């Protein structure tokens, strides 16, 4: 018999967060999150996303053992302002037992119907700034810091339970040449001169902070036509600024401004933290921080996280400037391989950016939808 236990305490939340550490204990490709970070993300008193969202967390229990977990999420901003009548679910993990998956998802249906919603979709986070999608390709690859890893049976369970794919993301592995392509350098110079653009270089994290709000503003402008879009709120910006910018070395951020000092484009890459996080195994102390610090300082692999371009400058060659700057960075740091952030499969404009870097699509993930 399978029973669902609703999380009502900090101790219970710790059990919820650490269940995947049991499930994936022997998986060489699963990259564990930082436990403290996950606890804070799911804590309604600490994450400001709960100003416009509600969530309930459940553990599935069978024969006295924890066999699954799920977060059931209502994003009021998405429902009331964007008009998407959906109940979200995320943080879904379970053993290979279809009955466990079915029991967990029944809680999603129950919540959605209670709120008069039309469909369920997941796995997703609270907003479009968080992890999303069941892994459907790339099971022999380490996941990045901002993606989930899943066993192949997850997809099979969704298909057996009558779900359909909703959104699909693809990820690419890029090879970095020894120096920038001549055409990139040429176009970079032409575009800088034509539009009187300037690259902003940062010496420390403090210099970055005044630009963060504008960077997120560009994200809202860049991606507002994509199917998963939900506007990023200022309180979320403040939260992400504090949460993630401690990981980012100023060398890895490229910002471009116009002649009026207005930010018109930016990109964020990071050294790959996958190997370091695997060694840390969920904890910064006593030695996890050493692995993170080492990955920041010396790494042959990087991850491409965000790129935003003002719609006024899209299609005008600004990416040539970004790529030239990244090339200089990668060569200086000894980075030979870059992984892209998950990109919606229909976002061909972004995917075309990688064509000169021997792109290999090595991962794919999808959210799944079911009408209520």
Confidence at residue 123, expressed as pLDDT on a 0 to 100 scale: 97
Q: How many residues does the chain have?
A: 372
Contact 89, 70 (CB under 8 A): yes
Confidence at residue 228, expressed as pLDDT on a 0 to 100 scale: 60
Pick from 309, 302, 305: nearest CA to 349: 309
Pick from 328, 339, 278, 350: nearest CA to 305: 339
Domains in the chain, start-ordered, CATH in brackets?
2-171 (3.40.630.30), 177-335 (3.40.630.30)
- The pLDDT tens digits for 261-275 are 999 999 989 899 999
Quote the CA–CA distance of 340 and 344 in Å, as a whole number: 12
Pick from 269, 272, 273, 275: nearest CA to 329: 269
Q: What is the pLDDT along the chain (372 residues), one digit of tens a residue?
A: 999 999 999 999 999 999 999 999 999 999 999 999 999 999 999 898 899 999 999 999 999 999 999 999 999 989 998 899 999 999 999 999 999 999 999 999 999 999 999 999 999 998 877 899 999 999 999 999 999 999 999 999 999 999 999 999 999 999 999 988 898 899 999 999 999 999 998 888 888 888 888 988 888 777 666 556 677 788 887 887 777 766 678 889 999 999 999 999 999 898 999 999 999 999 999 999 999 989 988 899 999 888 888 989 988 999 899 989 999 999 999 999 999 989 889 888 778 888 889 999 999 999 999 999
Contact 5, 49 (CB under 8 A): no
Our measurement of the distance from residue 75's CA atom to the centroid of its chain's CA atoms, rounded to an integer in Å, reads 18
124: left (phi over 0), alpha (psi -120 to 50) or beta: beta
Confidence at residue 332, expressed as pLDDT on a 0 to 100 scale: 92
Quote the CA–CA distance of 315 and 319 in Å, as a whole number: 9
H or E segment at 2? Answer: strand 2-6
Confidence at residue 14, expressed as pLDDT on a 0 to 100 scale: 97
Confidence at residue 237, expressed as pLDDT on a 0 to 100 scale: 79
**First and final C-alpha spacing in the chain:** 25
* Structure tokens that stand for 139 in this block: 């099971």
Quote the CA–CA distance of 337 and 301 in Å, as a whole number: 5
Cα dist. 150→1, 36, 38, 92 in Å?
A: 25, 21, 17, 9
Which residues, 6+ apart, have CB-to-CB distance to 64 below 8 Å? none
Our measurement of the distance from residue 330's CA atom to the centroid of its chain's CA atoms, rounded to an integer in Å, reads 22
Q: Following DSSP, what letter does each residue of 244-260 receive, concatenated?
A: HTTT--GGGEEEEE-TT
Confidence at residue 93, expressed as pLDDT on a 0 to 100 scale: 98
Confidence at residue 242, expressed as pLDDT on a 0 to 100 scale: 74
Confidence at residue 239, expressed as pLDDT on a 0 to 100 scale: 80
Confidence at residue 181, expressed as pLDDT on a 0 to 100 scale: 87
Contact 168, 363 (CB under 8 A): no
């Amino acid at each position: 018999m399978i029973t669902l236990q609703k999380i009502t305490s900090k101790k219970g939340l710790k059990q919820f967060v650490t269940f995947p550490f049991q499930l994936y204990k022997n998986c060489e490709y699963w990259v564990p999150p930082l436990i403290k970070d996950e606890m804070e993300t799911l804590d309604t008193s600490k994450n400001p996303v709960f100003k416009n969202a509600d969530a309930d967390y459940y553990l599935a229990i069978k024969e006295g053992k924890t066999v699954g977990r799920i977060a059931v999420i209502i994003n009021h901003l998405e429902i009331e302002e964007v008009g998407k009548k959906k109940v979200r679910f995320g943080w879904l993990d379970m053993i290979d037992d279809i009955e466990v998956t079915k029991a967990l998802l029944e809680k999603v249906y129950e919540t959605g119907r209670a709120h008069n919603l039309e469909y369920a979709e997941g796995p997703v986070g609270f907003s479009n700034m968080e992890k999303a999608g069941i892994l459907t390709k790339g099971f022999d690859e380490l996941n990045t810091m901002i993606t989930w890893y899943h066993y192949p049976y997850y997809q099979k369970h969704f298909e057996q339970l009558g779900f359909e794919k909703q959104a699909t993301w693809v990820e690419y592995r890029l090879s970095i040449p020894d120096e920038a392509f001549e055409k990139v350098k040429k176009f970079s110079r032409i575009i800088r001169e034509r539009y009187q653009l300037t690259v902003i270089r940062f010496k420390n994290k403090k210099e970055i902070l005044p630009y963060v709000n504008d960077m997120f503003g560009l994200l809202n402008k860049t991606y507002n036509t994509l199917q998963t879009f939900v506007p990023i709120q200022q309180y979320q910006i403040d939260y992400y600024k504090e949460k993630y910018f401690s990981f980012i070395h100023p060398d890895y951020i490229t910002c471009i401004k116009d002649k009026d000092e207005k930010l018109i484009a930016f990109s964020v890459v990071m050294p790959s933290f996958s190997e370091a996080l695997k060694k840390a195994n969920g904890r910064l102390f006593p030695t996890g921080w050493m692995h993170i610090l080492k990955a920041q300082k010396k790494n042959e692999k990087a991850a491409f996280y965000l790129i935003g371009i003002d719609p006024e400058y899209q299609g005008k060659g600004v990416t040539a400037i970004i790529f030239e700057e990244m090339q200089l960075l990668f060569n200086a740091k000894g980075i030979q391989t870059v992984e892209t952030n998950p990109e919606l499969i229909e976002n061909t404009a972004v995917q075309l950016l990688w064509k000169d870097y021997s792109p290999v699509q090595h991962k794919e993930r999808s959210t799944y939808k079911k009408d209520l």
